[in-house]
Structure 1
Amino acid sequence: MSSGGGKRKKAHEEHEEHVNHERWLVSYADMLTLLFVLFVVLYSMSDVNMKKFAQLASGLSQGFGAQSAAFSGSQSTLDGAGQSAEIVQIDPGANPGDGKTGTSNMTEKEKAAVKAAVQAEDRLKQSQNAEAAAKESENLKKVENKLSDALAKQGLLNAVKFTIDRRGLVVTIVTNEVVFAGNRADLQAGGKKILNALAPTLAKLPNNLEVDGNTNQLKAVTTFYPSGWELSAARASTTVRYFAGHGIAKNRMSAVGFSDTKPLIDPSDPRSITMNRRVDVVVLTTLPADQAALLPAASGSDAKLHSGQTTAQAAAIAKAVEQADSSTGTTGTTGTTGSTGTPASNTTTHD
């Protein structure tokens, strides 16, 4: 009995937790604070956006030369702010999915303004492309001068011809028994001498190189190769491999065989038998395609095949032109186009 009474007494001593009936006031105050902050932020954002819309409308109006009918402004005073901003209503234009153009809702004056702006942008881009092509042409001419200097030191200036096209500077080496023997892709002593003169300058350039092998149009049988395709590719590969062994990085070069599909001169010309049988070392331009397409126009008469011009020769010509201009008061242009004559060697009747 006594033990049971003790248990009841202990249970009687336990009290219920006191409930705080004012806790809701804390949550309510927090909610009011958050709402106040939210409204302040929204008000601030709306004020900045309205000013930006006003600036946008002003800029577009100036661009079209008059206040556009697609933009209508009204003045509204912000309560309590003491500031005014222009509320701009912008016509979103035609639905992109309804087949209409973005100018379908514009007036003729606005369409003319848009067209003039587009044409002005095109003219600016064309001018920039032409300027870039002219500058690149000058850089390629300087590369030609350096290569010509190296060849002149070895007495080989007449062994190579130059031209500039949309690919870059093309260094043409006519093989005709000097570089490769007939039906062969093994470098001759004369060919090694030419490549030795070119390699140090080419190795210092940042440009990539493409070596193109070409055969003439004769229907001669290729003794050691199935066709002119394999022979031209083998000659290009031999040249690349030789350059790789003389300081030019492999990842800068590529070899291509064209057989007789890219004649240098008309096959009906008697010189074609020797001139079309060649290897082209192309110093590739770094320009994008739209600017590189202007390179032949930028180089003028230099777009034609010509003999190499050394740095000293280029400086002498530039000085002579400058003196002539100062004496006559006119602006002159220069361009040296060398002969495309056959190199001094025996005419061959094979590839």
Structure 2
Amino acid sequence: MSAGHGSGNHGRKAKKVPEEEHENHERWAVSYADMMTVLVGLFIVLYSMSQVDQVKFEALRQSLAAGFGTSAPAVMVGTDGAMVGEVATPITPELPAELPPELVTGPGFEEPPLATEGEVETLTPAERDLQAAIVELDRLEGIATQISAALAGQSLTDRVRFRVTERGLIIGMVADDVFFSAESADLTETAQRVIDTVAPVLAGLPEEVSVEGHANVLPVSGRYETNWELSADRATQVLRRLVEVGGVAPGRVGAVGFGDARPLEEAGGVTALEANRRVDLVILSAAPESVRGLLPSLAAAEQG
């Protein structure tokens, strides 16, 4: 029994133990060899580039110079290096000292403001704002002068008043009842003549124009429930005349009614009630806020 049992065990196959994978500790050598190969190739290329064929280079120079139509001196100064003993040769044309007029003018071109040498660099932000405000005030006063001249040609000079505020130039249509009767938004003949005279000047300006209606503090009756509706209707009638008859672009003009909330500060020769029955045409200044804030004080100082 024991022999048979032993012979049976003798016929079994022993289990094969898997061998552990051998770790390659020299893997870095492959990457190192690749890097060295690339470096060697790089040095070969650099070396070959340093060997300039003077004959071929001269031919290239002549070809580029002929293409540009010039034989100006080179823009690069020769230095010691791979081309030892060789004089630098021109490969680019010489630009003219002054550009032709067609290259410095055209759409979108704006000539820089004139200034003395070093002036712009030495100005503080406040001084720059003041300088810009002076220029803007002169421009607005020029518009007022142009409108005054147009009104003078129609004997309407005394029908409007000009003021400069932080918003821009205000053309106040203030003169007793020549523009609007009490509780009315109908344009009188004088009002139509003034608007038609001012409109061509406004149509030629790039700024936006705000048409602002006002009323006095007296209560209304009949057609309008409050002074808000009355002032808004007055502004709308003036706007329609400017656009439909005067040719002012509708995208540049808007109407608003202030009721009796913004009375005129200085009524002048007419009573406050009559002065506040008015419409203001406001040419809105496009200057920065810091510049516009200086306009009222500059205008007051100019007046006296």
Query: When the two structures are superposed, what TM-score results if normalisation uses the length of structure 1?
Result: 0.51
Q: How does 1:305-344 map to 2 (within 5 A)?
A: 335=303
Tell me the SS of whatever aligns to 1:211: strand
Bigger Rg, which one: 2
- Cα distance in structure 2, aligned partners of 1:192 and 1:276: 19
**Would you say the 8 A contact 1:265–1:275 is kept in 2?**
no
**Would you say the 8 A contact 1:130–1:298 is kept in 2?**
no
- Cα distance in structure 2, aligned partners of 1:167 and 1:266: 18
- Cα distance in structure 2, aligned partners of 1:227 and 1:295: 34
- Paired-residue identity, %: 37
Aligned to 1:162: 162
**Displacement, 1:254?**
1.3
Aligned to 2:196: 196
Q: Deviations over 1:278-327 (max 9, x none)?
A: 110001101111211111112224xxxxxxxxxxxxxxxxxxxxxxxxxx
Q: How does 1:9-28 map to 2 (within 5 A)?
A: none
**Displacement, 1:200?**
0.6
Aligned in 2, Cα 1:37/1:158: closer, same or farther, shift over 3 Å? farther
- Cα distance in structure 2, aligned partners of 1:37 and 1:171: 80
**Would you say the 8 A contact 1:221–1:227 is kept in 2?**
yes
- From 35, 49, 56, the counterpart of 1:31: 35
**Displacement, 1:37?**
10
Instruction: Give the residue type in structure 2 aligned to 1:159.
Output: R
Moved over 4 A (4+): 24-29, 33-38
Aligned to 1:227: 226
**Would you say the 8 A contact 1:175–1:279 is kept in 2?**
no
Tell me the SS of whatever aligns to 1:225: coil
Q: Deviations over 1:47-96 (max 9, x none)?
A: xxxxxxxxxxxxxxxxxxxxxxxxxxxxxxxxxxxxxxxxxxxxxxxxxx
Aligned to 2:8: none
Q: Deviations over 1:164-194 (max 9, x none)?
A: 0000000000263322232121211111001
Aligned to 1:97: none
Deviation larger for 246-255 or 141-150: 246-255
- Cα distance in structure 1, aligned partners of 2:173 and 2:166: 19
Tell me the SS of whatever aligns to 2:190: helix
**Displacement, 1:262?**
0.8
**Displacement, 1:203?**
0.6
- Cα distance in structure 1, aligned partners of 2:273 and 2:29: 104
Q: How does 1:69-108 map to 2 (within 5 A)?
A: none
**Would you say the 8 A contact 2:180–2:278 is kept in 1?**
no
**Would you say the 8 A contact 1:169–1:285 is kept in 2?**
yes
Aligned in 2, Cα 1:141/1:35: closer, same or farther, shift over 3 Å? same
Instruction: Give the residue type in structure 1 aligned to 2:241.
Output: Y
Q: How does 1:1-351 map to 2 (within 5 A)?
A: 29-33=33-37, 124-174=124-174, 176-218=176-218, 220-245=219-244, 246-265=246-265, 271-301=271-301, 335=303
The structure in which a higher percent of residues are strand is: 1
- Cα distance in structure 2, aligned partners of 1:137 and 1:270: 27
Q: Deviations over 1:9-40 (max 9, x none)?
A: xxxxxxxxxxxxxxx999754322557899xx
**Would you say the 8 A contact 1:161–1:172 is kept in 2?**
yes
Aligned in 2, Cα 1:299/1:270: closer, same or farther, shift over 3 Å? closer
- Cα distance in structure 1, aligned partners of 2:41 and 2:176: 87
**Displacement, 1:223?**
2.0
Tell me the SS of whatever aligns to 2:259: coil
Aligned to 1:83: none
Name structure 2 gaps, 5 residues minimum.
1-27, 43-120
Name structure 1 gaps, 5 residues minimum.
1-23, 39-120, 302-333, 337-351
- Cα distance in structure 2, aligned partners of 1:222 and 1:196: 30
Tell me the SS of whatever aligns to 1:254: strand
Aligned in 2, Cα 1:229/1:31: closer, same or farther, shift over 3 Å? same
Query: When the two structures are superposed, what TM-score results if normalisation uses the length of structure 2?
Result: 0.59
- Cα distance in structure 1, aligned partners of 2:263 and 2:254: 20
Aligned residues: CA RMSD: 2.9
Q: Deviations over 1:228-253 (max 9, x none)?
A: 00110111111111111121111111
Aligned to 1:70: none
